[in-house]
């Protein structure tokens, strides 16, 4: 295996998580419907991977993802983000925006709800720009 190729960390019906050798996670959301357990498993594995590596960055590819529902949005904002930031060291999120407008709106709710946390989100239309920005962050 080549050391410059991302390796699979976790995958389920909702998403796949890759460990990028550049020092960040890549999360690629799938278009399939998901239940809360499948959804929360992705986020819990992200937090575990950040802690395991001591990383602070995630590239989130939402191009084909279905929108977060209200329960998912609230869980991310109230439970997962504070834990990922305070316990996991999450600091930088590069989001490749979804094709679907409702997905973009649901994500905007989440990314604008982090005002009290030391976390920076930026949105991108392509993976190369998102990866370049993440690699500049310290």
Q: Which domains does the chain possess?
A: 7-136 (3.30.750.24)
Gap between the Cα atoms of 73 and 113, Å rounded: 10
**94-120 tens-digit pLDDT:** 999 998 888 888 888 888 887 788 999
Beta strands 15-20 and 57-61 are unpaired
Residue ranges in the chain modelled with pLDDT below 50: none
If you write DSSP's letter for every residue of 15-34 in order, what string do you get? EEEEEETTTEEEEEE-SS--
| The two three-digit tokens of residue 91, written as one number | 């600091």
* pLDDT at residue number 113: 80
* pLDDT at residue number 3: 67
The pTM of the full predicted model, rounded to 2 decimals, is 0.92
pLDDT over 90 percentage in the chain: 79
Average pLDDT taken over every residue of the chain: 92
């Amino acid at each position: 295996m080549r050391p410059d190729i991302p390796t699979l960390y976790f995958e389920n019906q909702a998403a796949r998580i890759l460990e990028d050798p550049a020092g960040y996670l890549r999360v690629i959301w799938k278009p399939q419907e998901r239940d809360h357990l499948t959804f929360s498993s992705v986020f819990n594995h992200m937090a575990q991977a950040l802690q395991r590596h001591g990383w602070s960055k995630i590239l989130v590819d939402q191009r084909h993802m279905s929108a977060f529902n209200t329960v998912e949005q609230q869980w991310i904002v109230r439970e997962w983000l504070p834990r990922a930031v305070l316990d996991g060291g999450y600091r930088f999120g590069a989001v490749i925006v979804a094709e679907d407008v409702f997905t973009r709106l649901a994500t905007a709710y989440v990314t604008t709800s982090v005002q009290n946390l030391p976390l920076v989100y930026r949105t991108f239309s392509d993976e190369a720009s998102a990866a370049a920005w993440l690699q500049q962050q310290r």
